[in-house]
Structure 1
């Protein structure tokens, strides 16, 4: 990442080194487009990331060639070609395990009412660059038969990279008025690019124009929120959204946690506590960014403001905030058009995050442990991380005790798992056996009997077939 002493020459040298690693594929593409009589440029995030020393194997290009012509030029070269973005001038390709995106110069116009532009293809690189979201994303590198060539920076995006600041090519009012989604992209880039801030004029525009985000479809908002949460520093992106009012439009429950003092009085407010939990959950990830875990960490306490109660002794309580929070989570994520699975997973983690806090008194039976595992299901490993991340007390003795208690719970889970299949707790008799033993057809009575046996299994652990049969018949006779 650039520092205060970075010079343009140093940044360009770093970019040259990064792009040189792709010299073979760049040379091949440069030759293909040159032979076809078209220009080709690396553009946008690819150039920015090369300057920042974080370039990956996926490259973005822009060209004067129209989409159908792009297909002709690279059709034989690419391993795979797809045209899902062709209406917007984009052709995607894969070769050698890497992905490439080619977009025709754009010169779109916007009606100022909807999100969708009137797609128009442009004729110049400069016209394409000036319509991009931020100046640091509006740089290009010419691709020639020998690889990477001329660096093109008509809007001085290099200076913004050196300063690590986000600013718009045109006035922010014009850029955000054309496409309000760019305001959320500001939060995304702050989260993705460590150390990046927004310029004063961009920040002022975000604060003033935040209501314009209501023009954006829920699906596109959700996509930007996900990219923000998956960034290197999602807390910075969330803080920008909340501080500027963007969050009030797209995720009001998060900012709504401010000033809801938590019951331990250890943090400024529940909002800051939740950001700390998000940071700590990220530290516990062991296989790359986990979007479900990060959403759950951010939202786990959103039920606190509406359940806050001032107690006679001067304390503050938030009884059943996990139940209310799970309901609020489902409502918000459904409004953002998330999948049923995503909504279910995140809301279930929110619902379960507080259950552990009755374990330390030593009263959990094996039955309680089984129910904890069963209710978590495939989310158990995430629940482990969320509960541990939720320990943010500054009291070192209390923090150590909480972590020791959870170590003990995980040990008990492992012990029970060694004796019985905790991941698939099912009745000891299946539906067919129930119908045969009770002499009843398929129907609601079988379901009630199945539920009884599952509850018995959770309470007592595995039973032999004879034991399960005896208990079922006893229950059946008692119910008449």
Structure 2
């Protein structure tokens, strides 16, 4: 498609997207016109409009100072937030819309700390040139008439048409100002399916160590957005190939393992990317961050457990145990919540359990333990185990999937007979204390755990059976 025709197509898509939001844009534009201030839709909002997918989360920039913005929107807005005001940003809620209105910025960076010295600019161009990528450095004037002139002083439209990420200034300057922008490149590669310009790639390779300046929380937020994108594998590849991964997620690049003619095995890194793709294909209701993290990290324990066997093979004994510990360490370092750390590490720990199922010879007790250990993670574990089948041998792949089908059928059959989702002892703590004549304390917990083990082993018992087992256990410990 000729460039002019492609540009025209993008601008038409933007006009259609912006038209859907014209009423709120006209209202907001009227407020700023009446006060004698400029207002522009900017950044990702303009980029997404050009891509025909503008959401109700809109970003604006203005020559008005934050206190003036507050005064203009106070009566019009449903809610006003001041959390970003020290950086010049006023948050506004209006119906279903979430708006951020930021005063023109012309920040100065000392190239050492991660925080800029906030300075307000006087012109739109001052604001646009400080943005991360040219595709995020376009603007649309907003007035009482609604969306108006499209402004692109830095060539963002051409970059968007070429699906390339480039920086408004020299990339070394841009990334030196805020190294997190390098991670944003990986995020946009995933979200937008864009490539990076050669000069950007070279600058990232050179400057990746500067990511150490960035807080763990900001790094984790970008990694999550990358993983939740449409093409996270491309973003991960950019991380690993440029060296960013060595700083923020070294275990992933560490899975790249040379394959020699004597000890052939799958490259664990490429295998993990395939598992991630296959896990994504199994998602039901949109992107599942926990599942995606587990798929990416499920084999990170393999490099540390690799052994060359006498028969010429390669083994990775207990890599799921080692991997779960590594996951906990890395995610804690990235300041993830306890729930996220627990869930992802437990999926990594359990992902190999199914391979002991063999020809379907697990006892009912083993099936109960599988379900109990997975708990609420069971649906994700089903997906992870199925995604972990990457063999090119079609017969073996079919056997593995059929075997897992049988396991799921057995789980369903047992669940129809007993409450597998809540396997608990057949006597509660109060009943245990009453039957044994003991107060609350460690002995009650020991009795409870004994009864739970029996429940897992034998299935549901009647009250009489459970009572007899409890008293027998109690006597066996020398009690009367």
> TM class by shorter-chain length?
over 0.9
Q: Alpha-carbon deviation of 1:98?
A: 2.2
Q: In 1, Cα distance between the equivalents of 2:75 and 2:230? A: 37
Name 1:316's counterpart in structure 2. 314
Name 1:284's counterpart in structure 2. 282
Name 2:199's counterpart in structure 1. 201
Q: Alpha-carbon deviation of 1:267?
A: 6.8
Matched, 1:144 2:162: no
Name 2:243's counterpart in structure 1. 245
Name 1:389's counterpart in structure 2. 387
Matched, 1:118 2:117: yes
1:81-160 matched pairs, under 5 angstroms: 81-160=80-159
Q: In 2, Cα distance between the equivalents of 1:408 and 1:261? A: 34
Name 2:7's counterpart in structure 1. 8
Name 1:368's counterpart in structure 2. 366
In structure 1, stretches of 5+ residues that fail to align are none
Q: Alpha-carbon deviation of 1:256?
A: 0.2
SS in 1 for 2:330: helix
- Greater than 6 Å deviation, 4+ residue runs: 2-5
2:294 to 282, 293, 296: 296
SS in 2 for 1:159: helix
Deviations for 1:149-199, whole angstroms, at most 9, x for unmatched residues? 0111111111101111111111111000111000000000000002x1001
SS in 2 for 1:118: coil
Q: Alpha-carbon deviation of 1:67?
A: 1.5
Name 1:407's counterpart in structure 2. 405
Q: In 2, Cα distance between the equivalents of 1:422 and 1:268? A: 36
Q: TM-score, normalising length from structure 1?
A: 0.97
Name 2:416's counterpart in structure 1. 418
Matched, 1:77 2:76: yes
Q: Is the 8 A contact 1:266 1:393 kept in 2?
A: no
Q: TM-score, normalising length from structure 2?
A: 0.97
Q: Alpha-carbon deviation of 1:82?
A: 1.4
Name 2:378's counterpart in structure 1. 380
Q: In 2, Cα distance between the equivalents of 1:416 and 1:278? A: 30
In structure 2, stretches of 5+ residues that fail to align are none
Q: In 2, Cα distance between the equivalents of 1:152 and 1:243? A: 35
Deviations for 1:67-92, whole angstroms, at most 9, x for unmatched residues? 12112111222222212111111111
Distance 1:404 1:4, change over 3 A: farther
Q: Alpha-carbon deviation of 1:138?
A: 0.4
Larger mean Cα displacement after TM superposition, 135-144 or 68-77: 68-77
Deviations for 1:242-300, whole angstroms, at most 9, x for unmatched residues? 000000000000000001669xx997500000000101111111111110000000000
Deviations for 1:30-84, whole angstroms, at most 9, x for unmatched residues? 1111111111100000111111222222211111111121121112222222121
SS in 1 for 2:358: helix
SS in 2 for 1:361: coil
* Count of residues paired in the alignment: 476
Q: Is the 8 A contact 1:172 1:202 kept in 2?
A: yes
Q: In 1, Cα distance between the equivalents of 2:5 and 2:450? A: 69
SS in 2 for 1:362: coil
